[in-house]
Amino acid sequence: MIGILRSISAFVLPSLCGIILLVVCAPFGRRRALAITLPVVTTLGLRLAGITLRVDGDVAALQRRPAVFVINHQSGVDPLLVAALLKRDVVGIAKIELQRHLLLGPLLKLAGTLFVDRQRHAGPESLAPIIPALNDGYAVAIAAEGKRSHDGQLNPFKPGALWLAQHAKVPLIPIVLHNSHAILPAHQLIMRPGTVAITVLPAIAASESLDVESLQQRFQHCLKLGSADRADSAPR
């Protein structure tokens, strides 16, 4: 019962708080509204869920703007984790089904999220509408696989993140999530408190020659290196 109440409060209260703050702060402009809202929502969400973050690697790269931040998608809590890491001037990319979600739909729309219809099998060009945000100095967060993994293992990477960084001429910064799937496993609704281990890999310049397979290998290598020494980060 405690787990159910914790999960409900960690999902509902930050979402409602975010919607209210974004509406109230709208007269200040979206950038200022997000700067006020994101730290409040992410801090509240992490504390209610009992989640702490252990971040290593090129942590300073999290401050770079504009940039494309690419993650491996393990869990439904990943958007909260990424927002907590980036804190400001960031817009996301989400599946179009979330547009109709009672709480997440309004929150993501107010935050400027780009919704993508995965069922149409659109190519990376479907991400073009978010390039103006990069040109305006924002960060964009995107899942490399395009959808969540069911077991924490990497799914085949899609070309969207690389395409976006290269066309906007901004750096691509990989964020490796080691164990967020253990916080909220696929097809489950109850969050488990614990520590999520995260590694920020060095930025990849837009001019650097890199393909999807090479990008996935960087993630895979980091996950393998982290598997042994992060055993203590399993959820409690």
Whole-number pLDDT of residue 29: 94
What pLDDT does 230 receive? 46
Tens of each residue's pLDDT in the chain, 236 residues? 777 888 899 999 999 999 999 999 999 999 999 999 999 999 999 999 999 999 999 999 999 999 999 999 999 999 999 999 999 999 999 989 999 999 999 999 999 999 988 777 667 888 999 999 999 999 999 999 988 888 888 999 999 999 999 999 999 999 999 999 999 987 788 899 999 999 999 999 998 889 999 999 999 999 999 854 443 444 44
37 neighbors 179 (Cβ within 8 angstroms):
no
Phi, psi of 169 (to 5 degrees): 60, 50
Residue type, 80: L
Options 2.60.40, 3.40.50, 3.30.70, 3.10.180; CATH for 52-233 is: 3.40.50
pLDDT of the residue at 3: 79
- 140 vs 53: CA distance, rounded Å: 20
Distances (CA, A) of 122 to 97, 125, 146: 15, 7, 11
- In this prediction the pTM is 0.91
Give pLDDT, residue 189: 82
CA distance 40 to 125: 33
